Amino acid sequence: WGLRLGVQGNLLWCAGGLKQVNRCTKNPLASQRSFWAELNIARLRHDNIVRVVAASTHTPEGFKSLGTIIMEFGGNVTLHQVIYGATSCPEEEDVEPDCCAREQLNLAKCLKYALDVVNGLLFLHSQSIVHLDLKPANILISEQDVCKIGDFGCSEKLEDLL
């Protein structure tokens, strides 16, 4: 789910991810929970978390969607692709041809990626948010080689226990 938008002139160039949360006919409550879970991070800002830019519950007629979430562009590559190799390359023209090449992970890069993920998790937990679906496929690697945790559809905001 990637989106890159650009406008000429005085208007701002924006690159981001567009995610539509589909309405599930078998379990509508699960669909609603997933949409609102994604928005748990809307107010948060951290280098290792994919940032929510905007969200809307308005959907065009004919779309079976609860809403749309626009997120920052976290990168073309997931940690899963780096670890296991990509199964297919994006066919977009602006993607680097070697984006899907299996990169050799040395110890320094492993530690850097691990620290990025741990820093993101520490921040989330400090905000009483648990991800609940953390896996390499949900960790994007930016063009600046920074790991960003994404896909918060299963996340939960823990209520204060006091």
CA distances from 37 to 63, 132, 155 (A): 21, 11, 5
Spatial separation of the C-alpha atoms in residues 129 and 153, rounded to whole Å: 12
Spatial separation of the C-alpha atoms in residues 31 and 27, rounded to whole Å: 7
Please give the single-letter amino acid code of residue 53: V
- Specify the length of the chain in residues: 162
CA nearest neighbour of 17 among 78, 63, 105: 78
CA nearest neighbour of 137 among 94, 79, 77, 91: 79
Residues with catalytic function: 133
State the number of CA atoms in the 13 A half-sphere of 59 facing the CB.
15
